[in-house]
Amino acid sequence: MLAIKTLPHKSIIFRRVARLMGTQFEISVVGDNPHWADDRIDDAIAEINRVEKLLSAFNDDSAVNEINRSAGIKPVKTNGEVFRLIERSMQISELTHGAFDITYCTMDVDAPEFDTPAETKVKRIISYQNVVLDAGAQTVFLKEKGMRLGFGANSKGYAADRAKYILQMNGVSSGVINADGDLLAWGAQPDNDPWTIATADPDQKALLFANVNISNMAVATSVNTEKHTSILNKGINAIDAKNGFPVSEIKSVSIISPSAELADAMATPVMLIGVNAGLYLINQLNQMACIIIDDHDRIYTSKDVSIASR
């Protein structure tokens, strides 16, 4: 059923919550016709389900599984959509010096045929640098046997971007997609005010400190679950990429970007590389911003982010 929020204008916000990609999505569209809104939300849900099927590691027929099955054996020709998603993921890996990486290992590294220590073997296998892309042939090759590709870090954001595209193509000029707290908004509210969010310290959620305009932007938040289990949206277990130790300096990171896929992908790497390196990285990128809270409840923001008084 659609939940309807009435506003003092002709248009209203139609909302529906659905369990998709193993998490909760809330899709909101602005309009004046409930049947039209219902059909549009159906369109968005169908697109999210399509993306899940395309990228699922549990679907034997998915393009990703075909690539994974051929690891260490041969390149696999794939469709343009999957190829471009992998290519963008590799670019983010380069940008973050490997802090973001869609490769992982499922091989039994302690098996007798391996004469190297398990940790060494895993480090050799798990690396975006072992993914070979051929744009001309549109092929993907995983160099090491046991390598796998997984899109858990950016698939929800990509699905949200795709759903937004489908909605816009079908005449939805304003709306919000909430993927378990990660938000993607476009257009304006029925009263022409921009879509905004108020972020809070995980320990003091009643005290809002930033009122951020997210119209035509996406925001994704990651939290260090070594100390906290939730902030706005989701929890992650942040581990230092080089040393394997729990990150203690950062409590949460919120990334703001025009693309939900990019915001989703960048949140965890910024947490992994620390406050100073994270702010430096984000400040070098166009149309991106971040808000960081450390373990001492200090707030750091990238350039052009204003913090309201608490």
86 & 118 share domain: yes
Question: pLDDT tens, 56-67?
Answer: 877 788 889 999
Does 238 score more than 90 pLDDT?
A: no
| 68 and 51 both lie in a single domain | no
Looking at the fold, whether 51 and 163 belong to one and the same domain comes out as: yes
Domain identity same for 165 and 41 = yes
Residue that is written with structure tokens 């034997």 in the block:
60
Question: What integer pLDDT is reported at residue 202 of this predicted model?
Answer: 52
| Torsional sign, CA 24, 159, 86, 275 | negative
Total length of the chain: 310
**Together in a domain, 40 and 171:** yes
Measure the CA–CA gap between 111 and 83, rounded to whole angstroms.
Answer: 32
* Domain span holding position 301: 194-310
- The domain that contains 296 carries what CATH number? 3.10.520.10
Q: Are residues 258 and 301 in the same domain?
A: yes
pLDDT at 89: 97
Q: Which of 138, 167, 186 is the last residue of a domain?
A: 186
Q: Check whether residue 38 and residue 136 sit in a common domain.
A: no
Tell me the CATH number at 78.
1.10.3980.10
Rounded alpha-carbon distances, angstroms, from residue 102 to 56, 248, 253, 279: 13, 23, 20, 23
Domain C-terminal end among 168, 186, 204: 186
Looking at the structure, tell me whether residues 242 and 307 fall in a common domain.
Answer: yes
Q: Considering its fold, how many domains does the chain have in total?
A: 3
Give the pair of three-digit tokens for residue 109.
Answer: 């590294």
Mean pLDDT, residues 183-199 taken together: 88
